[in-house]
A and B are shown apart, each in its own frame.
Chain A
Amino acid sequence: DAKTTQPNSMESNEEEPVHLPCNHSTISGTDYIHWYRQLPSQGPEYVIHGLTSNVNNRMASLAIAEDRKSSTLILHRATLRDAAVYYCILRDTHNFNKFYFGSGTKLNVKP
């Protein structure tokens, strides 16, 4: 299974943008890049996903490198409620049950 590599932790100031990186050098052509986050004492929450092109939604933006070996989740204005563990995950189109979370990046947002 293709794996992802993320920094263990990052820190941001409130109201500033945050760029969360993810490396996935063994990504295959059928892997979608998904991002989830997990707030304390809650289950994981879907944030965004993409295949090749950059994606935007109300929560965040996803920037995907041209070779697809890395991606960056962008929170445009961090709030205290964005403090969570962020997971970058690869999901194969044909094997939907394969869902490897890894350790993620713990984001701390300072007021």
Chain B
Amino acid sequence: DVKVTQSSRYLVKRTGEKVFLECVQDMDHENMFWYRQDPGLGLRLIYFSYDVKMKEKGDIPEGYSVSREKKERFSLILESASTNQTSMYLCASTIQGGGLMPQHFGDGTRLSIL
């Protein structure tokens, strides 16, 4: 089975801090994604990457950046954390194949910004 591992289940940081969320997948998937999940808003795509060193903005990229130096690892960076970035963050990966291929998700990181 595909394993998508997020480095932390719970994280508490302070306003203004630089925050790193790490995600690793073990199935050699080309595509990786970062979402945030908020009550009533569903999942919203922040950034995605379809190859090493490639990245594309999703629907809500403001205040975030990403890094993909290796195929298996996709990092989400909050440049200067703010309280409105308190959320559940989900990483996902999928093999190439467009809308046909299922996404495999990690268990999420619940991030609180104080």
- The answer to whether A97 and B103 touch across the interface, beta carbons within 8 angstroms, is no
Q: Give the total of B residues in contact with A, Cβ under 8 Å.
A: 26
Task: Kindly list chain A residues whose C-beta atoms are within 8 Å of the C-beta of B31.
Answer: 96
Main secondary structure of the interface of A (DSSP, over half): loop
Q: Give the total of A residues in contact with B, Cβ under 8 Å.
A: 26
How far apart sit A81 and B20, CA to CA, in the bound complex (Å)? 33
How far apart sit A32 and B100, CA to CA, in the bound complex (Å)? 7
B interface footprint on A59-83 (CB within 8 Å = 1, 0 otherwise) = 0000000000000000000000000
Interface residues of B (CB under 8 A from A): 4, 31, 33, 37, 40, 42-43, 45, 48, 56, 58, 90, 92, 94, 97-108
5 residue pairs of the A-B complex, CB under 8 angstroms, read A43-B92, A43-B107, A96-B99, A97-B33, A104-B42
* Extra A-B contacts (7), CB below 8 Å, given A95-B98, A99-B33: A45-B105, A87-B42, A99-B103, A100-B43, A102-B42, A103-B42, A104-B42
